[in-house]
A and B are shown apart, each in its own frame.
Chain A
Amino acid sequence: MSMVPTLLSVEGLTKSYGGVHAVRGVSFELRAGEILALIGPNGAGKSTCFDMLNGQNIPDSGRIRVLGAETTGKKPRVIWRMGVGRTFQIAATFPTMTVRENVQVALVSHGGQLFNLWASTARHARDEAGRLLDLVGMGAYAERPCGELAYGDVKRLELAIALANQPKLLLMDEPTAGMAPRERVELMRLTARIAREQSIGVLFTEHDMDVVFEHADRILVLNRGSLIAEGSPEEVRGNAQVRAIYLGEGLVYDARHREGASA
Chain B
Amino acid sequence: MAFYVVQFLTGLASAASLFLVASGLSIIFGVTRIVNFAHGAFYMLGAYVAFTLTERFSGALGFWGGIVVAALAVAVIGVLVEMVLLRRIYHSPELFQLLATFGLTLMVEDLAVLIWGPDDLVGRRAPGFKGAIDFFGQNIPSYDLFLIVLGPVVLGVLWLLFQRTRWGVLVRAATQDRDMVAALGVNQKWLFTSVFALGVFLAALGGALQIPRDAVNHAMDLRVIVEVFVVVVIGGLGSIIGAFVAAVLVSELNAFGILIFPKISIILVFLVMAVVLIVRPWGLFGKPEAPARRTPGLTVNPWRPLTMNERFAAIAVLVLAAALPFVAGNYLLTVGSEIAIFVIFAVSLHFLMSVGGLASFGHAAYFGLGAYGVALLAKMAGLPMIACLLLGPLLGLMGAAVFGFFAVQLSGVYFAMLTLAFAQIVWSIAFQWVSVTGGDNGILGVWPEKWAASPSHFYWLSLGIAALAVVILRIIVFSPFGFALRATRDSPLRSEAIGIDGKRIQWTAFVIAGTVAGLAGALFAYLKGSVFPDNMGISLSVDALVMVLLGGVETVSGAVVGAIVYKALNIWLVSQTDWSKLVLGAFVVLIVVAFPKGIVGTLEALMHRRRKSSSSVSPLLTSRIESAE
Cβ of B487 and Cβ of A94 under 8 Å apart? yes
A76 contacts B by Cβ under 8 Å: yes
Cβ of B480 and Cβ of A119 under 8 Å apart? yes
- Which residues of chain A come closer than 8 Å to B505, judged between CB atoms? 114
Cβ of A94 and Cβ of B479 under 8 Å apart? no
- Give A80 to B494 CA distance when docked, in angstroms: 11
- Which residues of chain A come closer than 8 Å to B495, judged between CB atoms? 94, 105
B302 contacts A by Cβ under 8 Å: yes
Across chains A and B, which 10 residue pairs bring their CB atoms closest together, nearest first?
A92-B494, A94-B490, A108-B480, A116-B480, A106-B498, A113-B480, A80-B499, A109-B499, A77-B499, A92-B493
Give the A-binding residues of B (Cβ under 8 A). 294, 298-303, 305, 475-476, 478-484, 486-487, 490-491, 493-501, 505, 508, 620, 624
Cβ of B500 and Cβ of A114 under 8 Å apart? yes
- Give A146 to B303 CA distance when docked, in angstroms: 12
Say yes or no: A121-B480 contact (C-beta < 8 A), given A96-B298, A141-B620.
yes
CB closest chain-A residue, reference B619: A140
Say yes or no: A97-B301 contact (C-beta < 8 A), given A115-B508, A120-B478.
no
Interfacial residues of chain A within 105-146, with CB under 8 A of chain B in the complex: 105-106, 108-110, 113-122, 124, 140-141, 144-146
Q: A115-B508, A118-B479 known; 17 other A-B pairs, CB under 8 Å?
A: A80-B498, A93-B491, A94-B490, A97-B486, A101-B302, A108-B480, A109-B484, A114-B480, A114-B500, A114-B501, A116-B479, A116-B480, A118-B475, A120-B478, A145-B300, A164-B498, A165-B498
- Which residues of chain A come closer than 8 Å to B299, judged between CB atoms? 96, 147
A187 contacts B by Cβ under 8 Å: no
Cβ of B479 and Cβ of A96 under 8 Å apart? no
- Which residues of chain A come closer than 8 Å to B300, judged between CB atoms? 96, 145, 147-148
Cβ of B484 and Cβ of A114 under 8 Å apart? yes
Cβ of B490 and Cβ of A97 under 8 Å apart? yes
Cβ of A104 and Cβ of B481 under 8 Å apart? no
- Give A140 to B479 CA distance when docked, in angstroms: 25
A47 contacts B by Cβ under 8 Å: no
- Which residues of chain A come closer than 8 Å to B494, judged between CB atoms? 88, 92-94, 158, 161
- Give A180 to B490 CA distance when docked, in angstroms: 26
- Give A82 to B486 CA distance when docked, in angstroms: 24
Cβ of A144 and Cβ of B294 under 8 Å apart? no
- Give A236 to B493 CA distance when docked, in angstroms: 34
- Which residues of chain A come closer than 8 Å to B620, judged between CB atoms? 140-141, 144
Interfacial residues of chain A within 177-222, with CB under 8 A of chain B in the complex: none
- Which residues of chain A come closer than 8 Å to B499, judged between CB atoms? 77, 80-81, 109-110, 165
Q: How far is the CB of A87 from chain B (nearest CB, A)?
A: 9
- Which residues of chain A come closer than 8 Å to B478, judged between CB atoms? 120-122
Q: How far is the CB of B273 from chain A (nearest CB, A)?
A: 26
A54 contacts B by Cβ under 8 Å: yes
Cβ of B476 and Cβ of A94 under 8 Å apart? no
A86 contacts B by Cβ under 8 Å: yes
Write 13 A-B pairs (CB below 8 A) sorted by A numbering. A92-B493, A92-B494, A94-B490, A97-B483, A97-B486, A101-B302, A105-B483, A105-B487, A105-B495, A110-B498, A114-B501, A115-B480, A150-B624
Cβ of B479 and Cβ of A105 under 8 Å apart? no
Of A54, A88, A121, A147, the residue contacting B483 (CB under 8 A) is A121
A257 contacts B by Cβ under 8 Å: no
Say yes or no: A161-B486 contact (C-beta < 8 A), given A116-B480, A121-B478.
no
Say yes or no: A97-B496 contact (C-beta < 8 A), given A109-B484, A114-B505, A120-B478.
no
Give the B-binding residues of A (Cβ under 8 A). 54, 75-77, 80-81, 86, 88, 92-98, 101, 104-106, 108-110, 113-122, 124, 140-141, 144-148, 150, 158, 161-162, 164-165
Q: How far is the CB of A24 from chain B (nearest CB, A)?
A: 26
- Which residues of chain B come closer than 8 Å to A161, judged between CB atoms? 494, 498
Cβ of B498 and Cβ of A121 under 8 Å apart? no
- Give A70 to B486 CA distance when docked, in angstroms: 31
Q: How far is the CB of A91 from chain B (nearest CB, A)?
A: 9
- Give A259 to B205 CA distance when docked, in angstroms: 75
Q: How far is the CB of A130 from chain B (nearest CB, A)?
A: 17
Q: How far is the CB of B347 from chain A (nearest CB, A)?
A: 15
- Which residues of chain A come closer than 8 Å to B486, judged between CB atoms? 94, 96-97
Cβ of A96 and Cβ of B302 under 8 Å apart? yes
Cβ of B475 and Cβ of A95 under 8 Å apart? no
- Which residues of chain B come closer than 8 Å to A94, judged between CB atoms? 486-487, 490-491, 494-495
Cβ of A92 and Cβ of B497 under 8 Å apart? yes
Q: How far is the CB of A116 from chain B (nearest CB, A)?
A: 4
- Which residues of chain A come closer than 8 Å to B480, judged between CB atoms? 108, 113-116, 119, 121, 124
Say yes or no: A105-B298 contact (C-beta < 8 A), given A97-B483, A122-B478.
no
- Give A48 to B612 CA distance when docked, in angstroms: 46
Cβ of A109 and Cβ of B500 under 8 Å apart? yes
Cβ of A88 and Cβ of B493 under 8 Å apart? yes
Q: How far is the CB of A178 from chain B (nearest CB, A)?
A: 16
CB closest chain-A residue, reference B298: A96
Say yes or no: A97-B302 contact (C-beta < 8 A), given A88-B493, A165-B498.
yes
- Which residues of chain B come closer than 8 Å to A98, judged between CB atoms? 302
- Give A26 to B612 CA distance when docked, in angstroms: 55
Q: How far is the CB of A51 from chain B (nearest CB, A)?
A: 12
Cβ of A117 and Cβ of B481 under 8 Å apart? yes
- Which residues of chain B come closer than 8 Å to A164, judged between CB atoms? 498
CB closest chain-A residue, reference B554: A96
Cβ of B302 and Cβ of A145 under 8 Å apart? yes
- Give A261 to B482 CA distance when docked, in angstroms: 52
- Which residues of chain B come closer than 8 Å to A92, judged between CB atoms? 491, 493-494, 497
- Which residues of chain A come closer than 8 Å to B501, judged between CB atoms? 77, 114
- Which residues of chain B come closer than 8 Å to A146, judged between CB atoms? 302
CB closest chain-A residue, reference B624: A150
CB closest chain-B residue, reference A111: B480
- Which residues of chain B come closer than 8 Å to A76, judged between CB atoms? 496-497
Cβ of B479 and Cβ of A119 under 8 Å apart? yes
- Give A8 to B565 CA distance when docked, in angstroms: 59
- Give A121 to B305 CA distance when docked, in angstroms: 11
- Which residues of chain A come closer than 8 Å to B298, judged between CB atoms? 95-96, 147
- Give A27 to B300 CA distance when docked, in angstroms: 45
Cβ of B302 and Cβ of A108 under 8 Å apart? no
Greatest chain B CB density within 10 A among A54, A88, A95 is at A95
Cβ of A117 and Cβ of B493 under 8 Å apart? no
- Which residues of chain A come closer than 8 Å to B508, judged between CB atoms? 115
- Give A92 to B487 CA distance when docked, in angstroms: 11
- Give A77 to B497 CA distance when docked, in angstroms: 5
Q: How far is the CB of A174 from chain B (nearest CB, A)?
A: 15
Say yes or no: A96-B490 contact (C-beta < 8 A), given A75-B496, A114-B480, A119-B480.
yes
